[in-house]
Every structure is written in structure tokens, then in C-alpha cells.
């Protein structure tokens, strides 16, 4: 299995603009899935980014999303995650099990509307991790 660690930046309604800026600076492919794309029916967040990424051939990669309005957020609170994306469920689960020891689980590692396997936790050192099984997203 190959894995990648990627900065995952969190915004309040500005994720698309930030990703577009990063693409203009670093080049690469921009992919965005909105909350509407992932099944949300809330018109207030339909166009907000549920998952977005810029990935360039030179190795630059960044992910971003717009934090849900009902969740606390400011630039210093949950401003970033470490995103661990893999292509093998068994190995991803093994990483999850190791990180989960002493962690606070925010979202158990299980199927979600955007991935067959997704989980979020804060490890015992205060680092927020999101793990997911890689899937293809439509290009914006």
C-alpha cells in the first residue's frame, strides 16, 4: 500500500477560494466536491467545500474543506488535520488502531457518504487525524 500525508486546511466558507489561489501559485489539478455533492440538503452550505484538493506533479499537495456552521471554528481551532489516505482498507485500519490508542474519536472508522472508510480522531498528543480510503471524485 502507498500512503500520503497531506496538509488538510479548514475554512469557514473560503475553502474554494483558498484552493483556487494555491492552484494558481503551485499549478496542478484542482478537485472539489461540495456538500451538495456528498448528499447534504442544507441550502446554506450546498456550495461549501466538503472536500477539495490541489495536487501538482512537482509533489505539492494540499486539501481543504469548509467547516460545518454548527461546529466551532476559528483560524486557531482545528485549523488543520493530518490526512492519511490509502488504497487498502486493512492497512488503513491498522494505522487507525495504532493512532486510536489513547485518542479521542470524533468519527469512528467506517463508511461515510464520501468514502467507503473514513474516520477522524485527536491522538493523545492533540494532533487531529483524518483517515480515509481513496476514491475518485468528479472534477470541478
Each residue of 29-76: pLDDT tens digit? 999 999 999 888 889 899 999 999 999 897 889 899 999 888 888 877
Q: Are the CB atoms for 81 and 62 separated by under 8 Å?
A: no
pLDDT of residue 51: 93
Per the prediction, the chain carries an average pLDDT of 88
Reading the block at residue 118, the C-alpha cell is 473514513
pTM of the model: 0.66
Each residue of 89-109: pLDDT tens digit? 998 898 899 989 899 999 999
Q: Are the CB atoms for 99 and 123 separated by under 8 Å?
A: yes
- If we measure between CA atoms, which residue out of 78, 137, 130, 83 comes closest to residue 107? 130
Architecture of domain 3-133: Roll (3.10)
Amino acid at each position: 500500500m502507498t500512503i500520503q500525508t497531506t496538509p488538510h486546511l479548514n475554512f469557514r466558507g473560503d475553502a474554494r477560494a483558498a484552493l483556487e489561489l494555491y492552484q494558481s501559485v503551485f499549478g496542478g489539478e484542482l478537485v472539489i466536491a461540495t456538500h451538495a455533492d456528498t448528499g447534504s440538503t442544507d441550502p446554506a452550505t450546498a456550495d461549501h467545500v466538503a472536500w477539495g484538493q490541489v495536487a501538482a506533479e512537482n509533489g505539492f499537495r494540499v486539501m481543504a474543506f469548509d467547516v460545518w456552521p454548527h461546529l466551532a471554528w476559528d483560524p486557531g481551532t482545528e485549523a488543520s488535520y493530518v490526512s492519511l489516505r490509502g488504497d487498502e482498507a486493512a492497512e488503513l485500519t491498522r494505522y487507525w488502531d495504532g493512532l486510536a490508542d489513547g485518542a479521542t474519536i470524533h468519527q469512528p472508522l467506517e463508511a461515510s457518504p464520501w468514502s467507503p472508510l473514513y474516520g477522524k480522531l485527536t491522538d493523545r498528543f492533540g494532533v487531529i487525524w483524518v483517515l480515509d480510503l481513496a476514491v475518485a471524485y468528479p472534477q470541478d
